[in-house]
């Protein structure tokens, strides 16, 4: 099982989309193992987006991400990173396919509603930034037996 970081950005929170977006992950069969509402500090935003420092959009991105509360999620499942990124859709809402989070809820090329880790390495780093020890909870979910085929001994 893989765990990924998902951030429901200020535009998703302000538009009242938290429940609808979280429900999509749960409906898909992914498990929420960490969740909190928070306001990202400038320092945390700078650390999280350090790879974008020096790019023309960096200052605006940090300003946006610190402008209003966000919801940070730790989401777990088989191939959770790829599954979540597929559910999110293309970066810009105007280019995202219908049926994806950005395709169904976004049209902006600036406000894109959601962030998801793009690799296992990024997930480990990002989860460590937003969750302290003990805030990601590994809990057994009875429904996993009905979400994943365990006949081969591992979930698939």
Asked whether the beta carbons of 14 and 68 are under 8 A apart, the reply is yes
Which residue's structure tokens are 């809402």? 93
Which residue's structure tokens are 């979400």? 147
Residue 115 annotated to the active site: yes
**Residues counted in the chain:** 156
Rounded Cα distance, 61 and 79, in Å? 28
Marked catalytic residue, from 48, 52, 115, 150:
115
Rounded Cα distance, 26 and 116, in Å? 15
What are the catalytic residues? 115
């Amino acid at each position: 099982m893989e765990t990924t970081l998902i951030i429901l950005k200020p535009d998703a929170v302000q538009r009242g989309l938290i429940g609808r977006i979280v429900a999509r992950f749960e409906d898909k069969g992914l498990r929420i193992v960490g969740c909190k509402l928070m306001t990202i500090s400038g320092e945390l935003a700078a650390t999280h987006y350090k790879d974008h420092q020096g790019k023309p959009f960096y200052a605006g991105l940090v300003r946006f991400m610190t402008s209003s509360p966000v919801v940070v999620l730790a989401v777990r499942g088989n191939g959770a990173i790829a599954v979540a990124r597929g559910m999110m859709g293309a970066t810009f809402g105007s280019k995202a396919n219908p049926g994806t989070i950005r395709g169904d809820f976004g049209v902006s090329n600036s406000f894109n509603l959601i962030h998801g880790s793009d690799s296992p390495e990024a997930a480990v780093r990002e989860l460590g930034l937003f969750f302290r020890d003990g805030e990601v909870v590994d809990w057994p979910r009875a429904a996993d037996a009905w979400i994943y085929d365990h006949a081969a001994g591992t979930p698939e």
